[in-house]
Amino acid sequence: MTAIRLLNEQPTLAALPDLCEVLADCVEGGASLGFMSPYRPDDAIPFWQGVAAAVGRGEVLLVVAEDGEGRVLGTVQVGFATKPNQPHRGDLMKLLVHRRARGLGLSRLLMEAAEEAAAEAGRTLLVLDTATGEPAERIYERFGWSRTGVIPNYALFPDGRYCDTTIFYKEIGRKARDPQKTSVAGSYPPAIPEPHAVMEGPVFRPTNWGFPCRLLPGCAVPQPFSSSPARLPDPSCRLPPPT
């Protein structure tokens, strides 16, 4: 049975051999992923150590698909944009499925989990680039991503040939909003209107506050998501005063 999991830093380090194996297999299979052939599992160690550190800092979400024995067969990441003017954006990166596990639907499961986790972390827009004409390009369209355009000769395949890249985006969770348009009487953050928010089980419904909210256990009022998953909302349940 396949399990889809979100990994913290230590489990990422524990899964390093499997992650290295998956990345090396994809590069040796001809995917344009930033690395050149020959590429052995050991070559991937610094890359995954960097990912583990970024996960630990709350900058990256790492999702893996594991088989019944806990071996990683596939993975995908969402990197959180860190610029102050892009708190709502994330970069979808490194969707990888080992060649022995392809065609089983793992990429769909990984993408669904990554989009859901990014939305829960308050991201509303994801962006990715992928080698033009490769299988993954068709897959993203099937998963509801919108194609924006092609950049010629953007990168190299592992064998040294040039490859074009196609840029995609997807709005997830609730739609990104223009702060000016959502502000009340020109102020931002907006004044808080009633009603606040409605929570249905683990699903967060949008409010008209201008940012995603959720109701914490024991709280009477919704709390804004922090832009980083490492900094969850203040459990004191106090709302910022309306401006």
Ligand X SMILES: CC(C)(COP(=O)(O)OP(=O)(O)OC[C@H]1O[C@@H](n2cnc3c(N)ncnc32)[C@H](O)[C@@H]1OP(=O)(O)O)[C@@H](O)C(=O)NCCC(=O)NCCS
Which residues sit at the interface with ligand X, rule CB under 6 A?
Answer: 26, 31, 95-97, 102-108, 130, 134-136, 138-139, 142
Taking the least distance from each CB to ligand X, the nearer of 57 and 161 is 161
Least distance CB 116 / ligand X (angstroms): 16
Q: In this structure, is the dihedral angle defined by the CA atoms of residues 89, 129, 168 and 109, taken in order, positive or negative? A: negative
Q: Which long-range contacts (CB under 8 A, 24 or more apart) does 74-78 make?
A: 74/22, 74/98, 74/101, 74/106, 74/107, 74/110, 75/19, 75/22, 75/110, 76/107, 76/110, 76/111, 76/113, 76/114, 77/51, 77/114, 78/114, 78/117, 78/118, 78/123, 78/126
Min dist CB 65 to ligand X, Å, is 8
Min dist. Cβ of residue 22 to ligand X (A) = 8
Given the complex with ligand X, which of 39 and 209 has the nearer CB atom? 39
Whose Cβ is closer to ligand X: residue 28's or residue 59's?
28
Query: Residue 5 or residue 102: which is nearer to ligand X going by CB?
Result: 102
CB 21 within 8 A of CB 98: yes
Task: State which H helix or E strand residue 162 sits in.
Answer: strand 162-171
In DSSP terms, which residues pair with 126 in a beta bridge? 90, 170
- Only one residue has tokens 């390093």, namely 16
- Minimum distance between the CB of residue 184 and ligand X, rounded to whole angstroms? 40
Question: What is the token pair recorded at 217?
Answer: 């256990």
Q: How near is the Cβ of 181 to ligand X at its closest, in Å?
A: 33
Residue with tokens 């630990």: 56
95 near 111, Cβ under 8 Å? yes
> Measured from the CB atom, is 9 or 43 closer to ligand X?
43
The smaller minimum CB distance to ligand X, of residues 119 and 127, is found at 127
Which residues, including other chains, have CB under 8 Å from residue 85's CB and lie 6 or more apart? none
Shortest Cβ 195–ligand X spacing (Å) = 38
